[in-house]
Structure 1
Amino acid sequence: MTAGAALPERLEAVRRGIADAAAEAGRSVDEISLIVVTKFHPPRLVRDLFALGVTDFGENRHQEAQAKAAELADLDITWHFIGQLQSKKARQVRAYARVIHSLDRESVVDALASVESVVDCFVQLNLTDDPARGGVRDADLETLTERVLATSGLRLLGVMAVAPVGEEPRAAFARVRAASERVRAIAPAARYISAGMSGDYREAVLEGATHLRIGSAITGIRPTAG
């Protein structure tokens, strides 16, 4: 079986998995968005996935994402920036990303401010004790949320997180659900949860995730970075 022939099957398998998890959770699959992460993959793969009905794509490196967005400008794609964001690159990311999942400090929030347009965003929560992992500390979640709400040009969708290696995924995502409830106490409309990847999206759906960031389960083995 060629990689091209397997792509539709991998995509369909993940879609079935999402539907099964939603049914298990007693949720409608329509409230769950699939974002296919195409890091290191060529634009050709994005075109193939778009032809299969995928419209939401995630990237976590600005230079690569910017180049893909430019090359694929003829497609009606929603680009999601899911990587750690540098303040000095924030406005460039804003130019092509419709959704930014990784607001984790005030300097980034301030750099994204705009009176000309609005970008959707998530506050990223760090579920570890390692500040290098990205994400705001749990104790600072409300403070950063309030900063986002006070910043022009940002529409807060909710909270984003990555399950730590070594922790049972559902337990991690239960913590994200609790964080989401804290955010909603401040911003009732910010009801979305960006969580779940190829190996743990079922557990994320069971704990209320609305935006799944899935790469290799659909795209196959990731090429080596150039």
Structure 2
Amino acid sequence: MTDLGARLSAIDEQIADAARRAGRDATEISRIVVTKFHPAELVRELASLGVREVGENRQQELSVKRDELEALDLTWHFIGQAQTNKAAAIRRSADIVHSVDRVRLADALHRAVEDDSVLDVLVQINLTPDAGRGGVQPAEAAALAEHVLALPSLRLRGVMAVAPLDEEPASAFARLHRVAEEVRGVAPDATWISAGMTGDFAEAIAAGATHLRIGSAITGPRPDRG
């Protein structure tokens, strides 16, 4: 087994263990491999190991890799902060956008539709008091969800968040779970919770996460961009 395969297997075992401890079925949890800054060849190797869901933080990198790997059976998740002027490019390359955090971005993604396709999206929640961080404040999440529901080319799947560095992940994800319930109050089908990275996915699973975003624990250190 390659080092990449060994790391992938180790993470999958840890996910299964965390799911068992939480009384959950691990098969209901999606593991997204974040390949930020890694070459397309690594994504190709991941696909050969059975990976089907990959995530990218930057629009340009997403677009280039998707074009190069078009023949592979992959689902591409855009998980980074999105600029409205890149909405069309994101929409062309992403199957799912995790980071819809404002009305203007939702509108831009909707306007960028070029056919009768429907784009899966999640509302990103800011779990910190810093308004400059990505994500809508929890109290505003339901209103943004209602706005997304009114855009026919978008399909609201649920919520996404990153746990703050200065708070215990379990506490942060418990708050996210409550926000997810509020969103489901206006969108009953929006059942996804995208939460949990390498250092906190066990806590995210315990709080009901359905999608985990895991990078370097699987891919190894990011390449030197210099």
- TM bucket normalised to smaller: over 0.9
In structure 1, the partner of 2:177 is: 177
Distance 2:15 2:130 in 1: 30
Distance 2:21 2:43 in 1: 30
In structure 1, the partner of 2:17 is: 20
Report the TM-score, using the length of structure 2 for normalisation: 0.96
Deviations 1:131-168 (A, max 9, x none): 23200012211110110000121111100000001210
Deviates more, 1:200-209 or 1:135-144: 135-144
Stretches of structure 1 that go unaligned for 5 or more consecutive residues are: none
Distance 2:131 2:91 in 1: 24
Deviations 1:83-135 (A, max 9, x none): 00111111111111110000000000001114621011100000012223200
In structure 2, the partner of 1:199 is: 199
Q: Return structure 1 stretches of 4+ with deviation > 2 angstroms.
A: none
Correspondence list, 1:118-137, <5 A: 118-137=118-137
What amino acid maps onto 1:77 in structure 2?
L
Correspondence list, 1:150-161, <5 A: 150-161=150-161
In structure 2, the partner of 1:33 is: 30
In structure 2, the partner of 1:164 is: 164
Distance 2:218 2:178 in 1: 29
Q: Secondary structure at the match of 2:32?
A: strand
In structure 2, the partner of 1:68 is: 65
In structure 2, the partner of 1:10 is: 7
**RMSD of aligned residue pairs (Cα, Å):** 1.1
Distance 1:125 1:202 in 2: 19
What amino acid maps onto 1:127 in structure 2?
L
Stretches of structure 2 that go unaligned for 5 or more consecutive residues are: none
Distance 2:116 2:225 in 1: 35
Distance 1:223 1:118 in 2: 34
Distance 1:183 1:225 in 2: 39
Q: Does 1:210 align with 2:207?
A: no
Q: Secondary structure at the match of 2:2?
A: helix
Distance 1:193 1:72 in 2: 27
Deviations 1:49-95 (A, max 9, x none): 10000010000100111101111111111100000011111111111
In structure 1, the partner of 2:92 is: 95
Distance 1:139 1:171 in 2: 17
Deviates more, 1:110-119 or 1:96-105: 110-119
Distance 1:132 1:36 in 2: 27
Deviations 1:157-214 (A, max 9, x none): 1000000012101111101100100001111100110000011000000100000000
What amino acid maps onto 1:141 in structure 2?
A
Distance 2:190 2:54 in 1: 21
